[in-house]
Amino acid sequence: MDNKHIEQKIVDTLKVNYMPYAMSVIVSRAIPEIDGLKPSHRKLLYTMYKMGLLKGQKTKSANVVGQTMKLNPHGDMAIYETMVRLTTGNMTLLHPLVESKGNFGKVYSRDMKFAAPRYTEVKLAAISEELFKDIDKDTVDFIDNYDGTMKEPMLVPSTFPNILVNPNQGIAVGMASNICSFNLREVCKATIAYIKNDDFDLLKYLKAPDFSTGGQLILNKKDMRKIYATGRGSFKIRAKYRYDKKSSCIEIYEIPYTTSSEAIIEAIASIIKSGKIKDIIDVRDETDLAGLKITIDIKKNSDPDDIMNKLFKLTPLQDSFGCNFNVLIGQKPMVLGVLEILDYWIQFRMACIRRKSEFDIKKKSEHLHLLTGLSKILLDIDKAIRIIRNTGQESQVVPNLIKGFGIDKNQAEFIAEIKLRNLNREYILRQTADIERLKNEIEDLKDIVAHDARVLDIICSQLEEVSKKYGQDRKTEIIGEDSIEEITPDDFIEDYNVRIILTDEGYVKKVPLISLRSAGEHKLKDDDFIIQEADTRNKAELLLFSNKCVVYKVKVYELPDSKASQLGDYLNNILNLETGEEIIKMHATEDFTGHFLFAYQNGKMSKVPVSSYETKTNRKKLSNAYNAISPLVGIFFLEEDMDFAAFSSIDKVLVFNTSQIRPKATRDSQGVWVLKSKKGSTLRKILPLNETNLNDPEYYRANVPAIGCYLKEEDKEDTQIGLF
């Protein structure tokens, strides 16, 4: 057999095979239309409407699913799952369109499955009446179903903007739709206000989205206005909770619409396991017939609000809803802002009301025409009876009446069908009395069709009626952004007092003060000794200055807790120091206040604010930490200006106050002359005055820069004091 290779361009193949599928998904499956329904919803609800399920008793879901297959050629479970989302039991919609009995699962639960359709029962909810109002009066177009045996509506003539009242999610090919739900009362008020006044503040009427699962919505007015204007953007929703002091537990009873109780419980369980929030003991699902409840056991005397703020940050207890208001308008997908959606909905409703009015005009005109004929025989009933009695053949009755009274065929047929008992003056008078009323009604209907203002008034009155009849209070509480406590990573760090020890050989040890109380001497390597100790807190930041003009920044909490009996951590491993690089000074700070005093061998000194070492980004290493021109003699932290004594290589001493040195924001500033050189002398060491044993310090005091005075004989025993 000959194998022939047929070459096809990929673009052509996609056009022929893929594009029809993609378009079908977009326009016939995934994206809602202006009535707020996708085709699957519309087919299901219309089937229920035709089954008479607006009134009367519920029927088995399986019955509805079977009937829906006449319009929707899908598997029974696909149709049933569509129905589940519309039910009161499932709680997906703010205003469920299907009233249900039995287990339909819950929107807030991922694992709670709905019962099979043979067990559950449904009927249309009362509000569904508003979807189908006047559908039999030519308000919308009908098309053939898939096999041409039935008609189905292309849209339903919903009397309220269902597109905004009930949420809709759908993923098509290359596009998606995600419409949040809004409060019915607010939507109706906003639509009425928009009809009556184009220039109005939408946010004043439509305060924020509203969800069937409640919770709290964190309102950022600027972001919300952007969503309203463009149909895109996101906002945050968070759970609601209460604290039971008796049993030391937090009860979460409303969660974000976008998540599930199982996802939340898994996230909290993971936090307990990792020990990230030590105050949480246990979490469990206590959801029952009364509704959702997630219980978190916490340690006594813990702050429940602080724990919840941390959980909002770490779990789906606070979640984002991403808006994408993608709606099909005339079979074209369009991302619209709220006012644009309302524009299209108002146009659609105006068309529905006009079509209904024209339908009524036609029907009433036909009836009026018949009554006009009836009024003619009122003039001579006996004549009518005589014509009928004297007509030999039945087929001639109508033509004879036409001749006798000058009426047309339809009028004659109507008269001929009147029962014998009704051929009396009273009946005919009563019937013809409606002629004037019908004439007025037809005139009024024609006026409605001709004037937009009349149509818009009808839309407004219908919206007011729907709002009054079905409106309910908001379920989702609105809270302002300013009332939210911003949680940072630092909030997850336990804070306590610590002592940090730095040794000559480059070991650093962080010991909680609580464990120091009962500890003995610090364990050090042979020949090692402590060069500096600092008391601080676990949330502080540690600045470590090296002999290579570099400062390393370490968060204190990043250092592991140690004990006096341990060596601590080797800084070379933590900081990756260069060969020959050593840490010579450390400083712990919580707020970067104060100054550093750098003293150089050439007699210059610089006073640099600690804030110069603060960085917005989380940098770990800053070069040019101090000046490299002359060797460094000492670094000191100044909480405030203080007295120092500087010693030169020729035993001259200068006492001065640091207030005489102006601060420089540049870290590697060369500084200013403090100790002048004499015969090539240099600065040998510098100490805070209170650490020297000078008997008469005022003898050595001078305004800088100065050479200083020779060290007196009685002060010479002080010369053994070390570098820092």
Q: State CA 710 to chain mean position distance.
A: 74
- The structure tokens 């899908």 sit at 74
Residue type, 378: L
CATH 1.10.268.10, domain 349-470, yes or no: yes
For residue 721, name the pLDDT band (cuts at 50, 70, 90): very low
Can you tell me the distance from the alpha carbon of 164 to that of 486, in angstroms, rounded to the nearest whole number? 31
Is pLDDT above 80 for 543? Answer: yes
Mean pLDDT of the chain: 90
Stretch 638-652: mean pLDDT, rounded? 92
Closest CA to 93 of 157, 41, 56: 41
Closest CA to 696 of 717, 674, 711, 676: 711
CATH topology of domain 240-316: Gyrase A; domain 2 (3.30.1360)
Task: Please provide the DSSP assignment of 508-539 as one string.
Answer: EEEEEHHHHTT--SPP--TT--EEEEEEEETT
- Joined tokens for residue 71: 């319009």
With b meaning 16 or more CB within 10 Å and e meaning fewer, what string describes 501-539? bbbbbbbbbbbbeeeeeeeeebbbeeeeeebbebebebb
Lowest mean pLDDT among 329-338, 492-501, 681-690: 492-501
CATH topology of domain 31-158: Topoisomerase II; domain 5 (3.90.199)
Is pLDDT above 60 for 528? Answer: yes
Peptide bond just before 705 cis, omega within 30 deg: yes
Is pLDDT above 60 for 519? Answer: no
Is pLDDT above 50 for 720? Answer: no
Q: How does pLDDT run across 281-292, given as a tens digit for each residue?
A: 999 999 998 899
Q: How does pLDDT run across 154-207, given as a tens digit for each residue?
A: 999 999 999 999 999 989 888 999 999 999 999 999 999 999 987 889 999 999
Q: 146: helix, coil or strand?
A: coil
Is pLDDT above 70 for 116? Answer: yes
Domain ranges for the chain = 31-158, 240-316, 349-470, 493-588, 591-724
| DSSP single-letter state for residue 209 | B
Q: 409: helix, coil or strand?
A: helix
Q: Which pLDDT does position 517 carry in this prediction? A: 65
Q: Which pLDDT does position 723 carry in this prediction? A: 41
Helices 434-450 and 338-378: angle between axes, nearest 10 degrees: 150
Stretch 380-391: mean pLDDT, rounded? 85
Can you tell me the distance from the alpha carbon of 458 to that of 445, in angstroms, rounded to the nearest whole number? 12
Q: How many CB atoms lie within 10 A of CB 78?
A: 11
| DSSP single-letter state for residue 547 | T
Is pLDDT above 60 for 718? Answer: no
Q: Which pLDDT does position 4 carry in this prediction? A: 64
Stretch 418-443: mean pLDDT, rounded? 85
On the question of a common fold for 240-316 and 349-470, the answer reads no
Stretch 684-707: mean pLDDT, rounded? 90
- Joined tokens for residue 214: 């409640």
CATH 2.120.10.90, domain 591-724, yes or no: yes
Q: How many CB atoms lie within 10 A of CB 419?
A: 7
Task: Please provide the DSSP assignment of 279-320 as one string.
Answer: TEEEEEE--BTTB--EEEEE-TT--HHHHHHHHHHHSTTEEE
β-sheet bridge partners, residue 609: 595
Starting at the edge strand that comes first in sequence, how are the strands of the sheet with 98-101 ordered?
59-60, 121-124, 98-101
Whether residue 119 lies in the annotated active site: yes
Residue type, 413: E
Lowest mean pLDDT among 39-48, 307-316, 555-564, 595-604: 555-564
- The structure tokens 């009332």 sit at 483
Kindly name the residue from 18, 21, 119, 699 that is annotated as catalytic.
119
Stretch 69-97: mean pLDDT, rounded? 94
- Is 307:272 a contact under the CB 8 Å cutoff? no
Q: Which pLDDT does position 139 carry in this prediction? A: 96
Can you tell me the distance from the alpha carbon of 313 to that of 263, in angstroms, rounded to the nearest whole number? 14
Percent of the chain with pLDDT over 90: 63
Residue type, 31: I
- Is 235:219 a contact under the CB 8 Å cutoff? yes
